[in-house]
Structure 1
Amino acid sequence: MQIERLIQLIFYLIDHKQVTAKELAAFFGVSTRTIYRDINTLTLAGIPVVTTKGTCGGISLLDGYTLDRSLLTKEEQQNIYQGLQILQATKFPTSELALSKIGTVFREALQPKWLEVDFSFWGSDASEKIKISDLQIAILSKRVIAFDYFNSEMETSRRAIEPLRLVFKSHAWYIIGYCQVKQEIRTFRLSRIKKLQVRLETFQRDLPKDYSLSAQKSEEQLPALKLRFSSKAVHRLYDEFSEEQLIIEEDGSYVVSFQAELNNWLVNYLLSFGPQVEVLEPELLRAKLKEQALKISELY
């Protein structure tokens, strides 16, 4: 389409400084007459295309011209650049090259660089980022993936799924797909996936249009928790809970109320606070925590 060729023509001129009509015609697979018509269209649209005749002549953009003076505001350029930075943090294929090109085109709007995005956890290696790139390839090419998975009960199983969507929600990455073992759509947390393999086997399934990740774990189905934390745990509370969930008591302690599954993961999470947390409700969680604490004490 002409509009796509016109946009590509602008970027080509920015990247190559000065070119001939013959070179452009060969690159875009059109006639030189079409190229001259495109140049006329760009000029009428306010793009400063300069045509110089002679031995050293050619077609170029006005010296110093960048896209921010005609198509995008500096704020819009910054938003595009930040989006690419987020993709780069996931090791998204070709994001590095795209970021470099956009950085050159939008150079006046991107100084100084103020944002750095890294989704990996402290101490992790590059393999955590490679996972996302592999999953992106698997989803787009509709290839089955296999992996070892650790669930919330710390049970390990080998899974083969048809990956349908990659989601970042509540500080974590998830892959949504049709599990060939359970024969239903399931959600898997990436941090619990090990030994990921992208198979040659393909599939045709799509994620249902009415699928909702939020609907998979309705808060109405989860028990209410009430915990009391010592003031010594405040540095973690504000990292891991919202302010609406925190109530400061007169003695300086914090009462936190939220809803969650009563599983081994939750018990181990609360144990990581040591004596700085007391379960007030429900009684079942108090019993589970006490049982696990006694098992730990028997080791010493």
Structure 2
Amino acid sequence: MRASRLLTVLLLLQNRGRMTADELAAELEISVRTVYRDIDALSAAGVPVYAERGRTGGYRLVDGYRTRLTGLTEQEARSLPLAGLPVAAAELGLGTVLAAAQLKLYAALPGELRDRAGQVAERFLLDVPGWHRDVESLPHLAELAEAVWANRVVAVDYVRWGGDEVHRELDPLGLVLKAGTWYLAARCEDAVRTYRVSRIVRHERTGERFERPSGFDLAAFWNAWAERFAERMYTRTAIVRMSPHARAVLPLRLGVAGERALDAAAGSVPDSDGWLRVELPVEAHSGAIGDLLRFGAELEVLAPAELREQVADEGRRLAARYG
């Protein structure tokens, strides 16, 4: 453990130049006293590290010194695909591993390329979760990720959308992060299904292992599943009038489905008030009413008549509530 930390100290100094003991301690989540001992150990091992005194001082390596001890461990190599997703890496229990892997990669790059890589990280950031979302409780995510790696069967208790709890034994095949929400793709009774990780309330190892299906493609499976899910969700079409404001926020409210609806209505001419007739995909159940009411008075349902009356009835109930 200490050898790994000493290498990390060395790589930090090599990549970043001068660093204070406080900065090293914060980076490694250790005490300043431990930093002093680690610097002494590096010096004793022949690493040319020296201290600069004063308020702007710190530790640095002799100019021109570079180590080639940058081999990646298995865990670090696994974490590299998540290099642009530090939050996801942390949720999977790979945060510190990813940081170590990135340090080693930076150390192995020539100086000019290393500077360019650092500039990219300073200028671009990928933030996956959507706005106005609470962080989901994911106590089992890291263990599920380990089960995916090890082809290990897991037993879970899972709360379905209707609220009932079921017990399942799963062969976990992959994890998908969609708009800040984690999903598990797993085989159950010879069929591959998806499970929202936050709805897994209990998880335990069975001690059994499974053989991964030959040719299983996680990306292809997810894309096909997502298309089927959208088809099941949006089974009706509502004819609506939308104000310019409602049209502007439609893609934010309904995502790709909203964008497609606007594209289909692109050839239509707005009325004298600037409102446009749009064919909008909606859910089959009461969720459609909530989605439509989110637009407030900026949207009017024209058809079907049943849906128009349902939205109007909900509007009257709201008015009575606040009356």
In structure 2, do the counterparts of structure 1 residues 88 and 170 end up closer, same or farther at CA, with 3 Å as the change threshold? closer
Aligned counterpart in structure 2 of residue 166 of structure 1, from 145, 152, 175: 175
Does residue 63 (structure 1) correspond to residue 64 (structure 2)? The answer is yes
- Superposition deviation, residue 282 in structure 1: 4.1
In structure 2, do the counterparts of structure 1 residues 96 and 234 end up closer, same or farther at CA, with 3 Å as the change threshold? farther
In the alignment, the residues of structure 1 paired with residue 12 and residue 297 of structure 2 have an alpha-carbon distance, to the nearest angstrom, of 65
Q: TM-score, length-normalised on structure 1?
A: 0.55
- Superposition deviation, residue 255 in structure 1: 4.5
> Given residue 229 of structure 1, which amino acid in structure 2 is its aligned partner?
M
In structure 2, do the counterparts of structure 1 residues 203 and 268 end up closer, same or farther at CA, with 3 Å as the change threshold? farther
In structure 2, do the counterparts of structure 1 residues 133 and 289 end up closer, same or farther at CA, with 3 Å as the change threshold? farther
Residue 50 of structure 1: aligned partner: none
- Superposition deviation, residue 16 in structure 1: 11
Secondary structure in structure 2 of the residue aligned to 1:110: helix
Residue 233 of structure 1: aligned partner: 246
Residue 95 of structure 1: aligned partner: 95
In the alignment, the residues of structure 1 paired with residue 292 and residue 299 of structure 2 have an alpha-carbon distance, to the nearest angstrom, of 7
Residue 144 of structure 1: aligned partner: 155
- Deviations along 1:200-228, whole A, 9 cap, x unmatched? 33563756838734444547763334433
Aligned counterpart in structure 2 of residue 245 of structure 1, from 225, 242, 261: 261
Q: Is the 8 A contact 2:187 2:193 kept in 1?
A: yes
Secondary structure in structure 2 of the residue aligned to 1:63: coil
Residue 205 of structure 2: aligned partner: 200
Does residue 267 (structure 1) correspond to residue 274 (structure 2)? The answer is no
CA-based RMSD of the aligned residues comes to 4.7
Residue 32 of structure 1: aligned partner: none
In the alignment, the residues of structure 2 paired with residue 179 and residue 289 of structure 1 have an alpha-carbon distance, to the nearest angstrom, of 40
Residue 71 of structure 1: aligned partner: none
Percent identity, aligned pairs only, is 20
> Given residue 233 of structure 1, which amino acid in structure 2 is its aligned partner?
A
Count of aligned pairs: 233
In the alignment, the residues of structure 2 paired with residue 276 and residue 234 of structure 1 have an alpha-carbon distance, to the nearest angstrom, of 9
Q: TM-score, length-normalised on structure 2?
A: 0.52
Residue 118 of structure 2: aligned partner: 110
- Superposition deviation, residue 237 in structure 1: 2.0
The unaligned stretches of length 5 or more in structure 2 are 1-6, 14-44, 48-62, 69-78, 107-113
Residue 221 of structure 2: aligned partner: 212
- Deviations along 1:67-117, whole A, 9 cap, x unmatched? 9xxxxxxxxxxxx97841315435232233322441464242212512334
Q: Is the 8 A contact 1:87 1:95 kept in 2?
A: yes
